[in-house]
Amino acid sequence: MRALKSLFEAALAGSRRRPDIRQRRIDELEAALARAVAQGASAEASAAIERRALDDRLDRLAHELRTPLNAVVGFCEGLARDARAGRLDRRQTEAVERVSAAAARLKELIENAFTDEGAPGGLRRIDPGVVLSRVIRELGDPRVIPPRPRAGVVVLADEARLATALIDLLRAALHVARPGERLEVGIEPLVDGARVSLPPVAMEPRTLTEVRRALSGWNAVLEVTSARTTLDLPGLARDRLGSRGVVLYIEDNPANVALVRQILQACVECARLYAAPTGAAGLVLARELMPDLILLDINLPDMDGWAVRRALADDPMTRNIPVAALTANAAARHARRGAEAGFAAWLTKPLELPALLAVLAAHLGDHEAAHAA
C-alpha cells in the first residue's frame, strides 16, 4: 500500500512538471524563431545594401562609358549630314559609316548591359532596305524578290517593330499569291523618308489593326488596297526648326557642349546656347539669362543635377523654366525619379538626335511671349 502511494505521488509530481517543460519548449522555439527572423532581416538588409552598392557601381560605369560615346555618336551624325550633302569624298564617307556602325554597336551593348529593361528598342536611323532584305532571308521563300540596293535611303524607325510588321505583311501577301507567282518588293525615297511597296495582302481585320497600331507609334503610314500595299516610313526631319530662343546647358564635359552647340547651329534658327561647367555657375546664369530651356547633366563636379533641379524649382525666378535632363543615367528608375522631380524630359547619352530635336521644338517657340506669360 505504501509502495502504491509513493508511485501515485511520483506520477502526480511528474504531471505537475509537464506544463513547465512544455512552456520551456515553447519559449525555446519562440526564441529560436525570433533569432531566425532577426537573422533574416539582417540578411535582407545586407542584400539591399549590396544591391544599392552594385547599382551605384553600374551607374558610374555606365556614365563613364556613355559620356565619351555620346561625343562619338553625335559628331558622326554631323559628319553623316555632310556626307549626304556631298561635302565629303567617297573614302571619307565610308570611314564615317564604319565609325558610325561601330558606335551604334557599342551603344547597343551598353543599353543591353545597363538598362533595366534589357534591349532598348525605340527609334533609330536605319536603312529600310537592309531590314527588308534580312526579313526576306529569314522568311526563306524564293517567290519573294528582294529590292534593289539603294544608297542613301535612311529613315527613322523602330527596327524590331518594322521587321515584325514586314514579316506579317509578306506572309499575308504569300497567302494570296497565285501558284508560281513571284512577289516584287520595292523601296523608293520620298522627300522626307522612304516608301516600301509590297504586293496585295490578305489579313484578318484584327491582325491588320494590330500592325497599324504598331506602326502608328512612330508615324509610319500603312496603306492597303486591292492592287498594292505601301508603307511610308518617316525620315529624319532635317529642316531647321524655324524657332529662336536661349538654351542654357549645365555640363562639365566640353565635348558634350560642343556637340549640342553644333546641333543647335545646324537645326535651330537663331538659337543661342550658353554653357555652365558647374551647378553653382548654372544657377547664377539661369537667373541672369532666364533661358527658354535648360539642359542639365546629372553628374556635375560640385553638386548633382538633382540638387540643381531643386534649387531651380525653389527660386521664384527660375521655377517655371523647363529643365530637360541630358545624362548618362539611362536606367528606367532614374527616368521615373526625374519625372517625379519635375524634369520636362529625360534625354540619355549617347544622345538620340530626334529626341533632342523634339525637346527643342517643344520649348523653343516665341521666347518673348513665353517670358511675358
Interval 33-67: pLDDT, tens: 666 656 655 555 555 566 566 566 666 666 676 66
**43 contact partners, CB below 8 Å, separation of at least 6:** none
* pLDDT the model gives residue 6: 58
Res. 275: pLDDT tops 80: yes
Q: How far apart are CA 246 and CA 262, in angstroms?
A: 15
* pLDDT the model gives residue 243: 45
- Other Cβ atoms less than 10 A from the Cβ of 352: the count is 21
What's the grid cell of residue 4? 502504491
Residue among 269, 350, 285, 276 nearest 321 (CA)? 285
CATH topology of domain 245-372: Rossmann fold (3.40.50)
Q: How far apart are CA 40 and CA 36, in angstroms?
A: 6
Q: How far apart are CA 254 and CA 262, in angstroms?
A: 12
Residue among 249, 248, 253, 247 nearest 63 (CA)? 253
Check: pTM over 0.85? Answer yes or no. Answer: no
Note whether 123-234 and 245-372 share their fold: no
Write down the architecture of domain 123-234 according to CATH.
2-Layer Sandwich (3.30)
Distances in Å between the Cα of 334 and the Cα atoms of 11, 299, 314, 338 are 71, 12, 21, 6
* pLDDT the model gives residue 324: 94
Proportion of the chain above pLDDT 90, given as a percent: 12
The sheet carrying 221-224 orders its strands as 186-190, 193-198, 229-234, 221-224
- Confidence class for position 283, pLDDT limits 50, 70, 90: very high
Question: Does residue 245 contact residue 367 with C-beta atoms inside 8 Å?
Answer: yes
What's the grid cell of residue 53? 552598392
DSSP characters over 150-166: -TT--EEEEHHHHHHHH
- Confidence class for position 309, pLDDT limits 50, 70, 90: very high
**SS3 for 27-93, per residue?**
HHHHHHHHHHHHHHHHHHHHHHHHHHHHHHHHHHHHHHHHHHHHHHHHHHHHHHHHHHCCCCCHHHH
Q: 173-221: per-residue pLDDT in tens?
A: 888 888 888 888 888 887 677 889 888 887 777 778 778 877 766 678 8
Res. 316: pLDDT tops 70: yes
Res. 358: pLDDT tops 80: yes
Instruction: Count Cα atoms within 13 angstroms, Cβ side, for 209.
Output: 3
Q: Which amino acid is at 48?
A: A
* pLDDT the model gives residue 312: 94
Question: Does residue 291 contact residue 360 with C-beta atoms inside 8 Å?
Answer: no
Residue with cell 527660386: 315
* Highest mean predicted confidence (pLDDT) among 40-54, 274-288, 357-371: 274-288
* pLDDT the model gives residue 306: 94
Q: 8-25: per-residue pLDDT in tens?
A: 555 555 555 555 666 666
Tell me the domain boundaries of the chain: 123-234, 245-372
Facing residues of 295 across strands? 249, 324
